[in-house]
Every structure is written in structure tokens, then in C-alpha cells.
């Protein structure tokens, strides 16, 4: 049987290939004058040894180290957790060595968006009910639920909905970094370009005081009204029922102001794209992630912004980004975040390489190095122009990185709070992620998943493995979908009503 019909070799230096189809024990594959005999059953998406690998030797995929052989590995062996493990190795950061600006695309390209007074542009137009503390979460939810059936939108066709942003923190946290981070997240939601108006509900005695939020500089740019933001505290308003009634009345008064925003032609350069992955498999780094990298590069070439996150999931591949940093300072800031994570996990008796997840391993990913190398492909080839702290306001065009955890809802909450107005989420095992107020486009790494979860997957990148499309062709389809969704097309997660529960700020420090 022809080798290329069943195995993908991604780089000439690779010691392993990836099974395109399930391989059988004893199956013989031929390539030119050579043949490979499969020594055991190997699932699709998993790795097969292409050459002899001695115990302790580095093993390569993507032309990069993905781990070290735990014992001698023979050609045709299944390469996975039973014979491949981790040890540290020196990365060559080669600061800025590969930083090359992409040629700009000069043909004007527009989408229809909501222009805000801040100069930013929304792809959606929501009203936000923001809870400062978990103690006001239920009240905030009751207010949003009053508008859940959409009957209020009969004469308000420019509004996408009323969303409650609730969480599990806001008090019992240290008043320094943990509280400031939470306030940065909430200010980012209030000032988000996809939010046309907002109000804040607190209890009254919490650490995360609502007045501190109102004083945030980012809220000064809110474009919903020239008046001060509406703020309620349950204690001062008189309890649950009175606060709910008062807040509902405030939203009803706000709705005509938010509805006054209309979609108008805007340059694609106003798009800020969140790049995230979850439930990855052995195909993710071959299909959906590099295809998203093509789409990301296309947006950058149009003058837009694209933001990669998930610091623990670039571990082992961070040197590929430092090589593309525009300045050494940008690269060093990225590595400082890597060192912070190493220290942070060590202090808690964990390890930054305590990854991939059980589902990732079932899908064929063996080590965090392998997972990270596939994940970084989402960032395409553009130079790295900035590195941001969690939920920090995204202020630069081009490709940037944000320090976020790998847990999908927490990572996306940071990216969205930073101002991303469109998100693309790649998956190999399956994800149903939605993240109001930002639409989430989901890309499948393989055709089986795309068919099984067709009500949740927007684009199938498995056609690359199937041989019917190239990475570049799928990347163009993803870019076209980004623009279409920015224009107002509903994603599968929006059609399913997802996105109300996925707001999950990163909670640092002890709960007191």
C-alpha cells in the first residue's frame, strides 16, 4: 500500500509520521524502494515511528523535539505515552532572527460593524449586566432573564441581546493583583466594542467595589451614553426584588440608546481576532491550526489584529515565537511569562508540562511539547508585535500574544476582555464553546468530528487530511467566515444559544 495514502510526514527530519487512517498490525506500506511494516494497531491521528530511535534520544515531529524515547523504538512502532516522555532541553530563542513583515494587502476590504465613540468597532451589539461579585450574580441573572425571550427586540432590531456577566469571585480575594485583575476583566467587558451599553450590580460590601470599576480609564471610553454608567448595590437599593426591578427599568431605558447604533461599512483592520484551541487531537497541528494561521496572516496583512493565548500550551514551542519577535524586549516579555508559569506551578506542587489532557492523549497527542508545537501553528507566520498581560487592552495591529491559562473559558475570557471582537476556536475532539459578547467560530480538525458534531462545528478542516483541500484553501475559507460572522452571520454556538455561562475570569491567589 502506498505510504502517502496512510501516513503524513510533516518534515524531512521527523522521526515519526501521523497516521491518516487506522493502521493494522502487520500492514506493509511502501515508499519508493522502501517499506514500513506496522508492528501494532495504531489509531488514526496517532504517531508511527519511521526510523529507529534509541532510548533517551530526542524524537522529532514538525522538525522539532516533541519528547525523548523512554526505550528503544523500532520503525513501525506506535509512538505514544508508553514509549515517549519529557525531559527539559535547551531552546534557542534566537531573538528576532525570523521576524519578517508580511506584505500588506492593499485591496480595501470592509465588513458591516457598529462604530463606537472610542474608535473601536463591534461585530455585535449587546447590553451587559455586569456582576461585581458572586453575591450579586443571581440578581444580575434575573435581570438578564427578563429579556431572554427576545420579545423586547420587536422594535429594537439592532440589539443582539441582554447578557449577564457573572462569576464566582469578587470578595475574599487579596486587594492587590487578584482584585486588580478581576477589575481589568470587568472593565474590558464594559468597554468592549460588542457592548453597546451596560450596568453594574454589586452587593455593597465586597472587596471588588463597583466604584473602583466605574473609575477605570477603560470605562471612560464607553460609547453607550454620555451619562455616567448605571450602578446598583443590593444593600443600598433595598434587597433582591427592589434591585431586580430597578435594574430592569434601567435596561429598558438603555435599550433605545443601544438600538440607535447601526451597522456601517468598516475596514477589516478593525477586527481583533482571538485564537484559541480546545480538545485538540493529533490532527489539530496538521489541519485546523495551520489553516487558522493562514487566516490570521491574511487578517494581519489587511491591518487587523490577531491574538494568541494559552501560555502553558506554547511551552516547548516558545522559541518559535521569540524568533519572530519584532524586538528582543517583546521576546523577553514572553519568556518572562513562561518563567512565571514554571514558578507558579512549582509552588503549587504541579508542573507546567502536566498536559496534554486525557482526551488529547486519546486523540494522539503525547507530550506538551507536541501539543504546543501544533498550537503555535494558529499564529501563522506574522512577526510577534506585542505581548499582553491577561485581559490587557489590545492596542496594536498585527500578531500579538496574551498571557492566559490553557483552560478554554478562562483563556477566552481574557482574550475577549482585551477587546477581541471575533474568536476562532479549533478542536479535534469536539467543543461547543460560545463566548458572548464575541462570536466563536469553531473549526474541526477531522471530517469525522465535523460530521458527528455538525450542529456545533462551523468549518471542517479535515478536508486537508482527506486530500480534497490544501491548508491555504481552508485558511481562506476560515478568513471568509471571519468576515461573514463580523458582518452578522450567526455562528453555530450562537444559533445553539451558547455563551451565557462561559464568562470565567482568571482567579489568582487564595480565597480568604
The gap from C-alpha 20 to its chain's centroid, in whole angstroms, comes to 26
Residue 479 in this model has a pLDDT that exceeds 50: yes
What's the order of all strands across the beta sheet hosting 110-115?
A: 121-122, 110-115, 263-267
The stretch 494-499 carries a mean pLDDT of: 96
From the candidate CATH numbers 3.30.70, 3.30.1220, 3.10.420, 3.40.1400, the one assigned to the domain spanning 126-260: 3.40.1400
The stretch 12-16 carries a mean pLDDT of: 96
Contact 107, 76 (CB under 8 A): no
* pLDDT value of residue 223: 43
Phi, psi of 263 (to 5 degrees): -70, 135
Confidence at 211, pLDDT banded by 50, 70, 90: confident
Cell of 335: 519568556
Please spell the DSSP secondary structure of 279-305, one letter per residue.
S--TTTTTTHHHHHHHHHHHHHHTT-E
Residue 427 in this model has a pLDDT that exceeds 50: yes
The tens digit of pLDDT for each residue in 316-330 reads 999 999 999 999 999
* pLDDT value of residue 465: 96
DSSP-assigned letter for residue 364: T
The stretch 440-445 carries a mean pLDDT of: 98
Residue 496 in this model has a pLDDT that exceeds 60: yes
Peptide bond into 437 cis (omega under 30): yes
Sort strands 84-85 and 305-308 into parallel, antiparallel or unpaired: unpaired
The stretch 472-490 carries a mean pLDDT of: 98
Instruction: Compute CA distances 349 → 341, 344, 455, 459, 510, whole Å.
Output: 12, 9, 40, 39, 15
Cell of 161: 441581546
* pLDDT value of residue 353: 72
Residue 228 in this model has a pLDDT that exceeds 70: no
**Measured distance CA(80)–CA(364) in Å, rounded:** 7
Q: What would you measure as the largest C-alpha separation in the chain, in angstroms? A: 83
Alpha helices (H) in 365-446, listed in sequence order? 368-376, 408-417
* pLDDT value of residue 146: 96
* pLDDT value of residue 225: 47
Q: What is the mean pLDDT of the chain?
A: 94
DSSP-assigned letter for residue 132: S
Neighbours of 335 (CB within 10 A): 18
Neighbours of 243 (CB within 10 A): 24
Residue 434 in this model has a pLDDT that exceeds 90: yes
* pLDDT value of residue 354: 66
Instruction: Compute CA distances 233 → 129, 191, 238, 243, 382, whole Å.
Output: 13, 20, 9, 8, 46
Confidence at 42, pLDDT banded by 50, 70, 90: very high
The rounded radius of gyration (Å) of the Cα atoms in the chain is: 24
The SS3 call for residue 481 is helix
DSSP-assigned letter for residue 438: B
* pLDDT value of residue 305: 98
Fold of 3-85: 2.30.130
Residue 224 in this model has a pLDDT that exceeds 50: no
The tens digit of pLDDT for each residue in 94-128 reads 999 999 999 999 899 999 999 999 999 999 999 99
**Measured distance CA(248)–CA(86) in Å, rounded:** 55
The stretch 191-202 carries a mean pLDDT of: 96
The stretch 209-233 carries a mean pLDDT of: 71
Q: What is the CA angle 248-183-166, rounded to 5?
A: 40
Contact 391, 298 (CB under 8 A): no
The tens digit of pLDDT for each residue in 124-183 reads 999 999 999 999 999 999 999 999 887 787 889 999 999 999 999 999 999 899 999 999
The tens digit of pLDDT for each residue in 336-385 reads 999 999 999 988 888 777 668 888 999 999 999 999 999 999 999 999 99
What's the order of all strands across the beta sheet hosting 272-277?
A: 384-388, 398-402, 305-308, 272-277, 422-427, 440-444, 459-460
Instruction: Compute CA distances 286 → 43, 164, 441, 511, whole Å.
Output: 16, 37, 19, 41
**Measured distance CA(324)–CA(346) in Å, rounded:** 29
Residues in the chain: 512
The tens digit of pLDDT for each residue in 380-412 reads 999 999 999 999 999 999 999 999 999 999 999
Residue 226 in this model has a pLDDT that exceeds 80: no
Phi, psi of 398 (to 5 degrees): 90, -170
* pLDDT value of residue 213: 79
Residue 220 in this model has a pLDDT that exceeds 70: no
**Measured distance CA(215)–CA(76) in Å, rounded:** 63
Amino acid at each position: 500500500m502506498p505510504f502517502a495514502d496512510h501516513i503524513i510526514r510533516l518534515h524531512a527530519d521527523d522521526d515519526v509520521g501521523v497516521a491518516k487512517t487506522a493502521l493494522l498490525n502487520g500492514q506493509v506500506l511502501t515508499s519508493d524502494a522502501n517499506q514500513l511494516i506496522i508492528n501494532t494497531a495504531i489509531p488514526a491521528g496517532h504517531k508511527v515511528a519511521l526510523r529507529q530511535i534509541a532510548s533517551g534520544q530526542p524524537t522529532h515531529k514538525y522538525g522539532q523535539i516533541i519528547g525523548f524515547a523512554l526505550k528503544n523504538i523500532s520503525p513501525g512502532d506506535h509512538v505514544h505515552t508508553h514509549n515517549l516522555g519529557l525531559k527539559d532541553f535547551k531552546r534557542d530563542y534566537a531573538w528576532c532572527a525570523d521576524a519578517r513583515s508580511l506584505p500588506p494587502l492593499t485591496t480595501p476590504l470592509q465588513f458591516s460593524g457598529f462604530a463606537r465613540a472610542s474608535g473601536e468597532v463591534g461585530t455585535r451589539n449587546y447590553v451587559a449586566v455586569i456582576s461585581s461579585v458572586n453575591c450579586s450574580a443571581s440578581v444580575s441573572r434575573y435581570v438578564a432573564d427578563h429579556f431572554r425571550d427576545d420579545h423586547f427586540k420587536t422594535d429594537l432590531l439592532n440589539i443582539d441581546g441582554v447578557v449577564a456577566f457573572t462569576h464566582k469571585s469578587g470578595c475574599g480575594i487579596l486587594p492587590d493583583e487578584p482584585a486588580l485583575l478581576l477589575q481589568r476583566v470587568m472593565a474590558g467587558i464594559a468597554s468592549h466594542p460588542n457592548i453597546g451599553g451596560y450596568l453594574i450590580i454589586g452587593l455593597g460590601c465586597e472587596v471588588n467595589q463597583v466604584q473602583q470599576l466605574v473609575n477605570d480609564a477603560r470605562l471612560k471610553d464607553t460609547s453607550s451614553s454620555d451619562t455616567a454608567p448605571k450602578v446598583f448595590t443590593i444593600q443600598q437599593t433595598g434587597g433582591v426584588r427592589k434591585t431586580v426591578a430597578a435594574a430592569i427599568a434601567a435596561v429598558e431605558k438603555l435599550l433605545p440608546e443601544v438600538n440607535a447604533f447601526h451597522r456601517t461599512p468598516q475596514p477589516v483592520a478593525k477586527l481583533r481576532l482571538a485564537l484559541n484551541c480546545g480538545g485538540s487531537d493529533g490532527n489539530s497541528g496538521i489541519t485546523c491550526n495551520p489553516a487558522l494561521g493562514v487566516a490570521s496572516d491574511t487578517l494581519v496583512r489587511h491591518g487587523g489584529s490577531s491574538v494568541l493565548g494559552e501560555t502553558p500550551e506554547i511551552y516547548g514551542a516558545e522559541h518559535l515565537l521569540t524568533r519572530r519577535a519584532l524586538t528582543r524586549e517583546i521576546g523577553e516579555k514572553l519568556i518572562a511569562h513562561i518563567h512565571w508559569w514554571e514558578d507558579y506551578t512549582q509552588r503549587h506542587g504541579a508542573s507546567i508540562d502536566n498536559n496534554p489532557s486525557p482526551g488529547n492523549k486519546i486523540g494522539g497527542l503525547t507530550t506538551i511539547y507536541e501539543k504546543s508545537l501544533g498550537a503555535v501553528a494558529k499564529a501563522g507566520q506574522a512577526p510577534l508585535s506585542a505581548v499582553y498581560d491577561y485581559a490587557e487592552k489590545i492596542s496594536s495591529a498585527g500578531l500579538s500574544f496574551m498571557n492566559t491559562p490553557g483552560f478554554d473559558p478562562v483563556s477566552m475570557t481574557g482574550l475577549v476582555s482585551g477587546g477581541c471582537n471575533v474568536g476562532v476556536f479549533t478542536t479535534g475532539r469536539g467543543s461547543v464553546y460560545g463566548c458572548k459578547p464575541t462570536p466563536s467560530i469553531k473549526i474541526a480538525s477531522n471530517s469525522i468530528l465535523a460530521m458527528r458534531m455538525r450542529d456545533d462545528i462551523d468549518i471542517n478542516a479535515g478536508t486537508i487530511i482527506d486530500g480534497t483541500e490544501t491548508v491555504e484553501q481552508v485558511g481562506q475559507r476560515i478568513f471568509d467566515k471571519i468576515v461573514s460572522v463580523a458582518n452578522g452571520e450567526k455562528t453555530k454556538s450562537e444559533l445553539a444559544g451558547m455563551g451565557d455561562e462561559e464568562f470565567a475570569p482568571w482567579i489568582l491567589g487564595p480565597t480568604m
